[in-house]
Structures are given as C-alpha cells and as structure tokens.
Homo-oligomer: A and B are copies of this chain.
Amino acid sequence: MQALKISMTKLYFATTNINKFNEVKSILSTYNIQIEMAKLDLQEIQSDDLSKIAYEKAKDACKFLNSPVIVEDDGLFIDALNGFPGPYSAFVLKTIANKGILQLMQDKENRNAVFISIIAYCEPNKDPLTFIGEVKGSIVSGERGKVWGYDPIFVPNAANGLTYAELGSKKNELSHRKLALEQFAKWYTEK
C-alpha cells in the first residue's frame, strides 16, 4: 500500500541544473522514489544558512507547482577561508572558479573543508521540512577529474585521496547529497 502510494504521488525536484537532477534522480531511484524535473528558476535569498535558503525555495516552488516538491542546496565551507565559498557556489564558480579557490588556499596548511547538502521538501499547505547531509574532507592543491562545480578540488575523508570528480559514479555512494537524500528517503518512505 505504501509502495503504491509512493509510486502514484508525483514528486517534483525543482532545479535548473540537469547534472544535479540526474545525480538526485539516480540516488533516489535506489530508494524506489521517482522524481520529475521542474525547471524553475527560483529566487534565492542571501543567507549564510543553507537550510534557510532551501526552506524558502521549497516553499516558493511548492506554491508555484501546487504539488509535493523537493529542492536542494549545497555549499562547500572551507575552514581556512572562514566558510568561504559557502552558499554562493554559483556566483563564485562563475567568477573566480576553482582556480581562484586554490589560489586563496595556496599558503594554507589547514586544508579541511565540509560539503553540506540540504534537501527541503514541501507539500501544499504545509511548512517545508529540511534534511541535512555533511561530508568532511579536504581541499587539494590542483584540480583533479572532470569539472562539475567544486568536485575536482574536494577529497572526502573516506575516499582514499580521490576527489569527488575522480570518484565518478561512486561519488553518489558517499556524497553529502547522498546523505541528505538518504535522510529524506527514510522519512518519505515511512511517512
């Protein structure tokens, strides 16, 4: 009965990023949750708090679609840069890019960073719920692997020195996004 309910309730993932959509779709399918892409260019608020950004975005998406929807926001928080680039991934990647981040890290001994993902789920006439995934790791000295976002410069502690980019599809087994989606999926399939 529950499986039936899940397969019949349409769940949207609101994003304009096809890479992100494919990653989320692939991870959620392992929990038998199917999603559809809602290509909405949602207005984000400025905040150092990813949860707040995702919460507001989910609320807006749900109001627009009038249907259950998830959104995702993530950010790379580098210790030695006081949390930079944090929530402003798109702008930082578009301007100074990974090259700029590595330049800022040139003289830094502390390479620790944490990649955080927030999944916010909202259904009509309810407040959004947020689910968090965190992966600790470090920043490499030179980009390694295929470029998507910060993937070529972040090495998760559990990845034997490989960057997210070098891990390829194995990234989805241990990523911050996977952990947040896992939290969400547990709750969603049991609700």
The answer to whether A83 and B95 have CB atoms under 8 Å apart is: yes
Q: Roughly how many angstroms separate A114 CA and B114 CA in the complex, as a whole number?
A: 33
Chain B proximity mask over A66-86: 1 for CB below 8 Å, otherwise 0: 000000000000000111111
Copies in the complex: 2
The answer to whether A45 and B48 have CB atoms under 8 Å apart is: no
A186 interface residue per 8 A CB criterion: no
Contact of A82 among B43, B95, B103, B104 (CB under 8 A): B95
Contact of A45 among B46, B81, B84 (CB under 8 A): B46
Interfacial residues of chain A within 52-69, with CB under 8 A of chain B in the complex: 53
Q: Which residues of chain B are near A106, meaning CB under 8 Å?
A: 103
The answer to whether A92 and B103 have CB atoms under 8 Å apart is: no
The answer to whether B103 and A81 have CB atoms under 8 Å apart is: no
Interfacial residues of chain A within 70-124, with CB under 8 A of chain B in the complex: 81-86, 88, 91-92, 94-96, 100, 103-104, 106
A127 interface residue per 8 A CB criterion: no
The answer to whether A91 and B95 have CB atoms under 8 Å apart is: no
The answer to whether B104 and A100 have CB atoms under 8 Å apart is: yes
